[in-house]
Structure 1
C-alpha cells in the first residue's frame, strides 16, 4: 500500500464516525444538568425559605407592638389591639415587597409569608419558579423587670 492510499482509508474511517453521539452521553449530560439545577435552585429555594421565615417573624414582631395602652395603664393587662396589629404587620410586609396573611388576636400575631423564587437551571426542565412559605408568631411581653449587670 502506498502512503497516499493509507491516508485516504484513514480519513474515510474517521468520516464514518464523525458527528455521532451515543444515547448514553446524551442521557448522562441531561442528568448532570438536572442534578446541577437541583443543587443550584434547591440552594436558592432554601435561602428564600430562610428569608421568608425572617420576614414573617419580623412582621409578627411589628404587629406585636400594637399594645392596648389604655388596658395596660388601667390594670396592667397586656393585650393587643388586633386590627392595629394586623395593620402594622401588613405595613411591614409592604416595605419588604412580600405577600402574606396576618392573623391577630388579643394575645398573638401570626404571619405567613409566601415567596416566589425564580429558578436558574431548572427552567430547562420547565420549572420557572419555586414557591416557598414561612411563618412567624409573636406576642407582647412585659419589659425588663430588673436591670442587667
Structure 2
C-alpha cells in the first residue's frame, strides 16, 4: 500500500509554525495579563487612596478646642490626630503610616495586590500605595451662630465638623 506523500516544499517547514504560535501565544497572554492585572492594581490603588483620605479626615477631626475657643486659631492635636487616623485604618483593616502636625494629617496606605495572569511570567504580586492629606479650614456658614471647621483632602472631598463655641464637645458630621 502506498501512502500519499507530501510535496517536497512541505518538508522544509516542519516545526517552524509551532515555534511561531508558541511565541505569539506567550505575547498575547502577557498583554492580557498586563491589562487584567494592571486594572486590578489600579482598583487597589484607588481603594488605598480612599482609605488613606478617609483616615486623614478622621485624624483631622482632632481639633485643639481650647486654642480655638481662646483665640480662634484652628489647629490640630497631633497625637490625637495620629490615634484617630490609626483607629480608622484599623477599623477598615488597612495598614499604613500616619504623620501629623498642628495643621496637617498625612496618611499613606500600602497594600499588596496579587496578580492573576502575570504570575505565569514570574510577577506574583504588585505593591500599591495611596495617600491622603487633610487640613482643617475655617468656613463660616451664614445660617446660625456657629462656626464650621472644614477638613479638605487633596482629593477635593469635604468633611465638616460643627464646633459650637458654647459646647464642651464637637459634633462631627459627614456631608
Same fold (TM over 0.5): yes
Question: Alpha-carbon deviation of 1:142?
Answer: 2.5
TM-score by length of 1: 0.84
Structure 1: runs of 5 or more not aligned: none
**Displaced runs of 4+ in structure 1, greater than 3 A?**
none
SS at match of 2:85: helix
Q: Which deviates more, 57-66 or 134-143?
A: 134-143
Given the alignment of the two structures, is residue 108 of structure 1 paired with residue 104 of structure 2, yes or no?
Answer: yes
Provide the C-alpha distance between the structure 2 equivalents of 1:123 and 1:136, rounded to a whole number of angstroms: 30
Work out which of the residue numbers 46, 71, 74 in structure 2 matches 1:75.
71
Question: Counterpart in 2 of 1:46?
Answer: 42
Bigger proportion of residues as strand: 2
Question: Counterpart in 2 of 1:137?
Answer: 133
Provide the C-alpha distance between the structure 1 equivalents of 2:76 and 2:62, rounded to a whole number of angstroms: 6
Structure 2: runs of 5 or more not aligned: 144-175
Question: Alpha-carbon deviation of 1:140?
Answer: 1.2
Question: Counterpart in 2 of 1:27?
Answer: 23
> What is the aligned residue count?
136
The 5 Å alignment of 1:80-95 reads 80-95=76-91
Provide the C-alpha distance between the structure 1 equivalents of 2:110 and 2:129, rounded to a whole number of angstroms: 4
Residue deviations 1:36-57 (CA, integer Å, cap 9, x gap) = 0000000000111111111111
TM-score by length of 2: 0.72
User: What's the C-alpha RMSD, in Å, of the aligned pairs?
Assistant: 1.9
Task: Find the structure with the greater CA-based Rg.
Answer: 1
Question: Counterpart in 2 of 1:60?
Answer: 56
Bigger proportion of residues as helix: 1
Residue deviations 1:128-148 (CA, integer Å, cap 9, x gap) = 11001111110112354213x
